[in-house]
Amino acid sequence: MAAAASTRASEAASIGAACTPNTMTQLRACKTCRLVKSRRQFHKDACENCPGERPHTAGEREDFVQSHTTSAFTGLVSITNPQESWIAKRLGLQEYVDDEGNRVPFKVGVYAVVLDEDQVASSQVDSAELGLGGGRGYGHADDDDEEEEDDDFIAPEHEEDEGADDVDDDDDDDAAGGGAAPRSP
């Protein structure tokens, strides 16, 4: 079984693909590029898309998983051709700038559609600093407003519109015309 997983990982790397999740439990998404893998896969391989140093020791790998990934995301999308995919373009997942300044396409893989910004706002990695797409779904933290939520929100009072509830109560029209005419929206 371990040999099969190792073979899949090497095949994925040879075609420019990230490891796809091998289980549907303990899924995590990279906070920078939204690549989705299992916790164990991030622990072992880090993120194939994101530039930077790879953690070497077990402690560094666990710190990486805690600080660079989140389990708070919504939706999954499988991207098989990042350069041509309309959804990859829409989500800003076509290419990124590596450490040498080269434009590199995202890896084929499974991505989160949206990260839950409320959960990751305090530790969100700024994707623009890393030269990543910055498409919809990337959360950006506002350090000043982090604690403020909707404390000042006051719901507007709704005035009842007396005319809106008036329905034609004349039964004479119904009897003579064979029923009420359908209303257009």
pLDDT at 72: 93
- The C-alpha angle 167, 168, 170, rounded to 5 degrees, equals 145
pLDDT at 134: 46
pLDDT tens-digit map of 103-134? 888 899 999 999 987 555 544 445 545 455 44
Residue 76 has pLDDT above 60, yes or no: yes
**pLDDT band of 183, cuts 50, 70, 90:** low
pLDDT tens-digit map of 17-68? 777 787 888 999 999 899 999 999 998 888 888 877 778 888 888 898 999 9
pLDDT at 115: 92
**Partners of 35 in beta bridges:** 111
pLDDT at 12: 45
pLDDT at 185: 53
**Residue ranges per structural domain of the chain:** 2-123
CATH dotted code for 2-123:
3.30.40.210
pLDDT tens-digit map of 149-178? 444 445 455 444 444 444 444 555 444 444
**pLDDT band of 73, cuts 50, 70, 90:** very high
Query: Averaged over 88-95, what is the pLDDT?
Result: 88
pLDDT at 51: 73
